[in-house]
Amino acid sequence: MDSIPANVHHDEALIMAPSIGLHFSGINATMEALLPKMRKTMKIACCGGNLSDRMPRSTLWKWLRAKNRRRWRIWHSRRNNDMLLGLFLRNILRQKLILLFTSAAQREHTWLTKFCYHHMDAVIATTQIAADFLDCPSVISHHGVDSSVFKKSEDCGEVRRLIGLENRPTLGIFGRVRPQKGTSDLVEALIVTLDQFPQWQVVFVGAITERHIPFKKRLEERLVAAGLSNRVSFIGFLDDFSQLPKWYQAVDVVGCVSRKEGFGVTCLEGMSSGSPVLATHAGAWPEIITEGEDGWLARPNDSADLSRALQLVFSKTPEQLKQMGRVAQQTIHDRFTIEQEVMRITEVYKKLFEKYGEDWQRMECDSTSLLNAA
């Protein structure tokens, strides 16, 4: 089948990916990677907030009133709010919806989540650990990363100059600044470690919500007292999502230090950009990283163990870091590309449509072309 044009009428989408959340999160980042790829080969759209203009968008009202509303369509949820709205649309408004949920959580689910996913037609788990926390059948599909977007720069120093960073070895942390992300654990580890490695700097790139501004101020006060405020920076949220790959290209190592995590696509983005990753045993990171080859692992919520791992990171020569980055890129190429994820999800869509008697041939994807897609 020929690719669906970028200007396709998204109100006629056969698959809707809602984003009913108050803040930009890893879920939004996943959708930002997936949907532009998927719309090339299927009629898919998104609705909701915290989504960029590059996404195939519709409004919920227009989509519900579309000409093809008498066909079965897929509602692909990634949050409780998404599932609840899907259940309301199907069971109360009597919309012909096939309900699908992707679960990344690695924890015991609340009664509400369990109620919702037991009423889904299918569930995808992003890791084996996430699948183990579900008490329903699921299909495992790891997240992937777009290596045509997140790729290594040939001139890291020039990228740093363009975004206003000093040209020196850099550890980058990507994601919201809050306790769950291990931000304070890493700051405490840096206070112990960073003085021994004066050439290194650290940048935190991610949103700081209003409720966490006092938390960030306390961390800054700790860094000032330690004499490190000129080497550790909080960049904040990037309003222009297209600038994010440049920040990955500007760092030598990516830090993923959450206490708890669903999946953690920042690890994939960093590795695809040619950086080894320092991560905690959270999310999918232990399933992705091979200790000492493409990254390092530390215990979550343990600043002492993070300090130990930072010693290993900062002691590496530039060439050793580059070699680890090359291994990291190969890991992504072999197992975690966005094309591989699209193929796995497409197979779930296909089976759901066929179960409800819809003709998949009308929007069938060419799986081989996905592997070669840019």
DSSP state at residue 145 = B
What is the amino acid identity at position 188?
A: E
Mean pLDDT of the chain: 91
Identify the structural domains of the chain with CATH numbers, from first to last: 10-144+337-366 (3.40.50.2000), 156-335 (3.40.50.2000)
Distance CA 228, CA 179 (A): 20
pTM for the model: 0.79
First to last CA, the chain: 17
Q: Can you give the pLDDT at residue 363? A: 55
Query: Who contacts 185 (Cβ-Cβ below 8 Å, separation ≥6)?
Result: 257, 259, 300, 301, 302, 303, 306
Query: Who contacts 136 (Cβ-Cβ below 8 Å, separation ≥6)?
Result: 117, 118, 123
Q: Can you give the pLDDT at residue 368? A: 42
pLDDT at 105 > cutoff 50: yes
Q: Can you give the pLDDT at residue 370? A: 40
Pull the structure tokens for residue 152: 């290594």
Averaged pLDDT for residues 196-219: 95
**pLDDT, tens only, 18-61:** 999 877 787 888 898 899 999 988 999 999 988 888 899 999 99
- E-only strand ranges, the chain: 15-19, 44-48, 73-77, 97-103, 122-125, 139-140, 170-174, 201-205, 232-236, 253-256, 277-280, 295-298
**pLDDT, tens only, 318-350:** 999 999 999 999 999 999 999 999 999 999 999
Q: How confident is the model at residue 362 (pLDDT cuts 50, 70, 90)?
A: low
Distance CA 303, CA 68 (A): 55
Q: Report the SS3 class of residue 330.
A: helix
Gyration radius from the chain CA atoms? 21
Q: How confident is the model at residue 360 (pLDDT cuts 50, 70, 90)?
A: low
